[in-house]
Structure 1
Amino acid sequence: MDLKLTQGMKKRILVILVALCIGVTGIVSGVLFKVSVIDSKELSAMATDQQQSSFDIKAKRGTIYDRNNKVLAQSATVWDVIISPGDIEKNEPENREFICKGISGILGTKYETLTEACKDTSSRYYVVKKKVDRSTVEKINNFVLKNNLNRYSVYTVENSERSYPNGTLAASVLGFVNENEEGYGIEAYYNSYLKGTDGRVITTTDAHGNAMPYDYSARYSAKDGNSLVLTIDETLQYYLEKNLEITVSQHKLANRSTGIIMNAKTGAIVAMATSPGFDPNDPSYVYFESDRLTLAKMSADKKTEEEILAKKQEIWGKQWQNKAVSELYIPGSVFKMFTCASALEEEVVSLDSTFECSGIADVAGTKIRCWNIGGHGVSNLTEAMIRSCNPAFIKIGQLLGVEKFSKYFEAFGFTEKTGIDLPGEADSLYVKESDMGIVELSSSSFGQTTKVTPIQMVTAAAAVVNGGKLVTPYVVDKIIDSDGNVVKSAQTVVRRQVISEETSATMRKILEDVVTANGGGNAYMSGYRIGGKSGTSEKIDDYNSGKTPELRYVATFCAIVPIDDPEYVMLVVCDEPTSGYIYGSAIAAPVVSAVFKEGLEYMGIYPQYTADELAQQDVTVPWVGGYNSIRAEAQLTAAGLKAEYIGSTDGTEVTGQVPSAGTVMPSGSTVMLYMGDIPLSDYRMSTVPNVIGMTVEEANKALSEAGLNISITGAATGSEAKAVSQSVNSGLVVYRGSVIEVNFLVNNETG
């Protein structure tokens, strides 16, 4: 049938066609708008993801130096070995097993693990091994080149590895970082400066997912982190840590020890240690023997893995904690220096004030005893400090009153953090002014109620002796970039003037008398002017709460050198000694003395001896073999020694001497000289007496009567000192004239 379109039909068809065109055009435009505008970022990212592969280049972390630019922490460039299962599948599937065998052979990894990883052909980035050295990278590169493998089938990526060349040294200050740059100590506090900015490598692929030539790759280099120059001195740090370790072992400390040496004028920390510490190269190793025994017992008792892991985490948390900054302790009698300074400043006491001690004080019905249960009788202010008399300082605190005591407690910085540039600084615990009654005031006055951090204590002690200025302690001297430019440098910050220079000068004199009283205490050193104060506090709250089965103590000593113009303040805290000794003067003061003996001249502080001190100095025995008696005696006399002859002196020469040349012994000691042909078998012998528990005078007499010489260490001339050890056991037979070293200790709460 011949179908003819009418004019109306043609118009309708035209309208429909126009509508369809408009509709299609609208849909296409809408899709284009959605793709190019609305979804452009998402689609672009998807395209980039399909066309590009990228990986990070780890930035090299900044180096940490001590104040003399010795490396304490550093990062070295290492490499991660990568395979691309996707590239292997597309470019050389026939080499898959060959590649897996070759790489596992070089790296010592499991072949089966690699072949399993290669099954994921959607992956272009599988880490075979992290942090390999340059020689291993060269082996990988040679393997790829020799076998003409695709560049992106096997490759290496730069990484960074942190190391601490001195092991445990300054670990509690330095801290450590893990692979995610999370950690402890300075590493954490200054992480934003140290970490740098990672770089990136972007590789372009073709439509089939194959890596394109180098021209289609981009590399954005990493920016290395800044470096830190600390105020810590590596040598002083070593001296401090070594001697803290000794006291931890000798006195069997149950809760570690800590020490700080701070520049009294600037606040710069030159040494800070916690012992036992840890090795930041292996921070998960448990270093405290008692903790290892605890874990071993848990294993023997068949505790669950979860229970053991929880205990390990608890131990690690404490092990990594910087005791000097993050743990509180009761200071004990060291705090008396602040009570004394405050009372002098307020003029409620003077050097002529007197105090009576019967051994116990009655404060509103509460009995508070003195460490000396027999009492001290009447003391002036200096004597009260030397004797560390609790009732005297209860009276001084009461003379100050709650308001003024609290005012100075705050002024010395005990109610706030010091602001030291280390993480985890703890807040102190103390009785607020509004809650303080006469009993709380009395016990706080001699340091038994308050809990503070060691860093608060040493900072406040500096203010007592440096002219009255409270400074902010710090451990980072400057920050430098990779080109050596100084990014930031530390400045001394004086927070406030706490006491006057006049009061500070008076306190310096009092604290020097504490060390030198009665001929010299455990911190006394011939030729040096040292001030200080000991402290022994009871951990009464731990005992009352049942945390410890018996009452335990904290032994402390704070020393200042030189006391006439203070340069350094040193604080040592020994937590929970279990050796039988408890006093700070007996446990902590010898640590101070040992560090000073090794370090003072290194610190630029040299001895200035009085005539009496010079007369008591040790001398070195000269060699007089082959000399006649006249010449030999002249040599010994010049050295400050005496001679005793065995055999005829008529025309004979010295054929033997005891002690031998090079031996160090006190001036005035006697050297036995054997003249002529006297065989060694005829040398005179002596039996070593037991001098433990004797005074210096008694021990010297006993050894002298046995024909032996004494060498005194420890509390050299203190009238309260008793011998605690001798270098040769009693009962042994030695050559007459031999030197026996005897260590003396003042075992009470006096300085």
Structure 2
Amino acid sequence: REIEKVFKERGAKSAAVIVMDPATGEILALASRPTFDPNNYGKYPATNRRNFAINDAYEPGSTMKIITAAMAMEEKVVDGESRFFCPGHIKVGKETIRCAHGRAHGSQTFAQIVENSCNVGFVQVGLDLGLDKYYHYVKAFGFGKVTGIDLPGEASGILVPEKKAQQIDLATMAFGQANAVTSIQLTTAVAAVANGGILMKPHLVKQVIDNNGKVIKKCDPEAVRRVISEETAHQLCLILEDEVTLGTGQNAYIEGYRVAGKTGTAEKSKPGGGYLSNEYIASFIGFAPAVNPRLVCMVVVDAPQGYPYFGGWVAAPVFKNIMQDALHYLEVPMYKSQENNKTLEKVEYVLVPDLVNLPLAEALSLLNARGLQSKVSGSGNIVWQQTPQPRTKLQPGAQVIISLSPYDKDDKDGEVTIPDLQGKSMREVAKILSDLGLHLIPEGYGLAYDQSPSAGKVVSRGSSIKVKFQPIGE
């Protein structure tokens, strides 16, 4: 019902949903669209007879960050004290990788790069892991080969050949590009995180019974291997719970339950290399309850039409509707706090986004998407200040005051003297230049160490200033 609805309403090319018991690997529900009538299959195109959840591989995007996070936590590459700086982009070799959000996240904890789905942060995590460890874990989680599910035509997915992999491959694999996976592979891998670290073989058939009711074949749960420790799995589950309560997965929240998961909005590769500019795969994978999960559910929608096309907007609500019904049907008890034995209720608040240095139109769009009102002060096109500050918790409908840069006006008449920017962060530099009506062209990340034109030069408002940054200590 739900997958049919989103498939039709969003005019998607394909869509699929998988619901699994993470403890056993048993497939409790599986649906794929487009579909066909098996009694009149000749009337349908051959593509309709494909099971999108099993037969087709695609680059998963940010849902794959769950697996990268599991690797990094297991290898102790990251911990609760780890911090990552996102200037909006990062250079790997000759290639520049930009954060999907199009702007800098600044300094973040590891949990925050998951919550913010920060590509730049995950590139840094992947490079810290290294190729050998990455391939060890990605294979251990079952990618690159069939899961062995009892359905025909299962695809094995595609991994960049290990011997040919370069640092740029590692960087992109870390946030879900370069490798292609199937929905059943990813569901099985995430189920291993949900169940405490054990990869289970997925199976659709529970048992076979003859005409007399005698069981002639029984499919017992089959553990493939332990891939991460129970402690790593538990800690990652808590991080993924924050992704749903605070991050991009808020539309997957189910009142009364602790829900964990991850959104994905993946670019679609095109024949001959590169990516399509106007087609995406929107997905969400998650589980509930977040501790001792009963169900894992993955929703994938190929090429949804219209805006927004993000996984958090397209797939997460489908996950919510399916899981809400399933949890109630299975009589999974709602969460009750130990303090007052009251059923968990969703805290009705949203986090204020960081709007400083954004174009006004984009800032207003971000506030509207989070259900916040806006009051604009001043004239210009660039946000200069905001009240309250980023990451402040507000109730939906609350007001955020935006002050526009007094120097960023349509007329660029007048001249300004360029200040000395050395030693300042990218955020500080961006604000200083914006206040002066100048545009920043950044290179690198960290603290400013060089600028062109140099300090003291006089330029016209509206000019561009190139500033080079380097990490602290280099």
What is the alpha-carbon distance in structure 1 between the residues aligned to residue 35 and residue 59 of structure 2? Answer: 22
Specify whether residues 694 and 260 from structure 1 end up closer, same or farther in structure 2 by C-alpha distance, changes over 3 A only. Answer: closer
Match runs of 1:642-721 below 5 Å: 693=368, 695-696=370-371, 698=373
Specify whether residues 484 and 400 from structure 1 end up closer, same or farther in structure 2 by C-alpha distance, changes over 3 A only. Answer: same
- 2:207: which partner in 1? 478
What is the alpha-carbon distance in structure 2 between the residues aligned to residue 576 and residue 599 of structure 1? Answer: 27
- 1:687: which partner in 2? none
Give 2:318's match in structure 1, choosing from 591, 594, 606: 591
Give 1:504's match in structure 2, choosing from 223, 227, 233: 233
Amino acid at match of 2:310: Y
Aligned residues: 360
What is the alpha-carbon distance in structure 2 between the residues aligned to residue 524 and residue 398 of structure 1? Answer: 32
Please state if 1:243 is matched with 2:2: yes
Amino acid at match of 1:595: I
- 1:537: which partner in 2? 266
- 2:145: which partner in 1? 416
- 1:258: which partner in 2? 16
Match runs of 1:284-683 below 5 Å: 284-286=42-44, 315=45, 317-517=46-246, 521-542=250-271, 544=273, 550-608=277-335
Residue 284 of structure 1 and its aligned partner are, at CA, apart by: 3.0
CA contact (8 A) 1:458 1:569 kept: yes
Specify whether residues 535 and 615 from structure 1 end up closer, same or farther in structure 2 by C-alpha distance, changes over 3 A only. Answer: closer
Residue 697 of structure 1 and its aligned partner are, at CA, apart by: 5.9
What is the alpha-carbon distance in structure 1 between the residues aligned to residue 344 and residue 192 of structure 2? Answer: 36
What is the alpha-carbon distance in structure 2 between the residues aligned to residue 276 and residue 270 of structure 1? Answer: 20
User: Which deviates more from structure 2 when the two are superposed, residues 593-602 or residues 331-340?
Assistant: 593-602
Residue 595 of structure 1 and its aligned partner are, at CA, apart by: 1.1
Please state if 1:283 is matched with 2:41: yes
Residue 479 of structure 1 and its aligned partner are, at CA, apart by: 1.1
Amino acid at match of 2:157: S
Residue 336 of structure 1 and its aligned partner are, at CA, apart by: 0.5
Partner SS for 2:265: strand
Partner SS for 1:274: strand
Residue 605 of structure 1 and its aligned partner are, at CA, apart by: 1.4
Residue 598 of structure 1 and its aligned partner are, at CA, apart by: 2.3
CA contact (8 A) 2:115 2:247 kept: no
CA contact (8 A) 2:297 2:323 kept: no
Amino acid at match of 1:277: T
Specify whether residues 614 and 496 from structure 1 end up closer, same or farther in structure 2 by C-alpha distance, changes over 3 A only. Answer: closer
> Greater helix percent: which structure?
1
* TM-score normalised per structure 2: 0.71
Amino acid at match of 2:18: I
Residue 281 of structure 1 and its aligned partner are, at CA, apart by: 3.0
* TM-score normalised per structure 1: 0.46
Specify whether residues 593 and 613 from structure 1 end up closer, same or farther in structure 2 by C-alpha distance, changes over 3 A only. Answer: farther
CA contact (8 A) 1:261 1:568 kept: yes
What is the alpha-carbon distance in structure 2 between the residues aligned to residue 519 and residue 392 of structure 1? Answer: 16
Residue 693 of structure 1 and its aligned partner are, at CA, apart by: 4.2
CA contact (8 A) 1:695 1:720 kept: no
Residue 478 of structure 1 and its aligned partner are, at CA, apart by: 0.8
Residue 609 of structure 1 and its aligned partner are, at CA, apart by: 5.5
CA-based RMSD of the aligned residues comes to 2.8
What is the alpha-carbon distance in structure 2 between the residues aligned to residue 527 and residue 574 of structure 1? Answer: 27
What is the alpha-carbon distance in structure 2 between the residues aligned to residue 331 and residue 356 of structure 1? Answer: 24
Residue 326 of structure 1 and its aligned partner are, at CA, apart by: 0.5
What is the alpha-carbon distance in structure 2 between the residues aligned to residue 694 and residue 400 of structure 1? Answer: 35
What is the alpha-carbon distance in structure 2 between the residues aligned to residue 721 and residue 285 of structure 1? Answer: 50
Amino acid at match of 1:250: E
Amino acid at match of 1:481: D
CA contact (8 A) 1:251 1:579 kept: yes
Specify whether residues 529 and 410 from structure 1 end up closer, same or farther in structure 2 by C-alpha distance, changes over 3 A only. Answer: same
Partner SS for 2:146: coil
Specify whether residues 614 and 500 from structure 1 end up closer, same or farther in structure 2 by C-alpha distance, changes over 3 A only. Answer: closer
CA contact (8 A) 1:515 1:524 kept: yes
Residue 365 of structure 1 and its aligned partner are, at CA, apart by: 1.6
Specify whether residues 518 and 540 from structure 1 end up closer, same or farther in structure 2 by C-alpha distance, changes over 3 A only. Answer: closer
Amino acid at match of 2:329: Y
CA contact (8 A) 2:258 2:289 kept: yes
CA contact (8 A) 2:257 2:344 kept: no
Amino acid at match of 1:597: Q
CA contact (8 A) 1:518 1:719 kept: no
Match runs of 1:73-92 below 5 Å: none
What is the alpha-carbon distance in structure 2 between the residues aligned to residue 471 and residue 560 of structure 1? Answer: 16
Partner SS for 1:249: helix
Residue 608 of structure 1 and its aligned partner are, at CA, apart by: 2.9
Specify whether residues 614 and 564 from structure 1 end up closer, same or farther in structure 2 by C-alpha distance, changes over 3 A only. Answer: closer
- 1:270: which partner in 2? 28
Amino acid at match of 2:5: I
Specify whether residues 467 and 577 from structure 1 end up closer, same or farther in structure 2 by C-alpha distance, changes over 3 A only. Answer: same
Q: Which has the larger radius of gyration?
A: 1
State the Cα deviation string for residues 312-354 of structure 1 (Å, max 9, x = none): xxx2x21111111111111100000111110111111112211
- 1:39: which partner in 2? none
What is the alpha-carbon distance in structure 1 between the residues aligned to residue 395 and residue 68 of structure 2? Answer: 26
CA contact (8 A) 2:268 2:280 kept: yes
Specify whether residues 267 and 520 from structure 1 end up closer, same or farther in structure 2 by C-alpha distance, changes over 3 A only. Answer: closer
Partner SS for 2:123: helix
Specify whether residues 480 and 453 from structure 1 end up closer, same or farther in structure 2 by C-alpha distance, changes over 3 A only. Answer: same
Specify whether residues 499 and 475 from structure 1 end up closer, same or farther in structure 2 by C-alpha distance, changes over 3 A only. Answer: same
Match runs of 1:84-163 below 5 Å: none
What is the alpha-carbon distance in structure 2 between the residues aligned to residue 600 and residue 257 of structure 1? Answer: 22
CA contact (8 A) 2:255 2:344 kept: no
CA contact (8 A) 1:278 1:320 kept: yes
Determine which structure has greater relative contact order: mean sequence separation of CA pairs < 8 Å that are 6+ residues apart, divided by chain length: 2
CA contact (8 A) 1:527 1:613 kept: no
Amino acid at match of 1:449: A
Partner SS for 1:600: helix
CA contact (8 A) 1:518 1:720 kept: no
What is the alpha-carbon distance in structure 2 between the residues aligned to residue 430 and residue 576 of structure 1? Answer: 23
State the Cα deviation string for residues 130-165 of structure 1 (Å, max 9, x = none): xxxxxxxxxxxxxxxxxxxxxxxxxxxxxxxxxxxx
Residue 375 of structure 1 and its aligned partner are, at CA, apart by: 1.2
- 2:400: which partner in 1? none
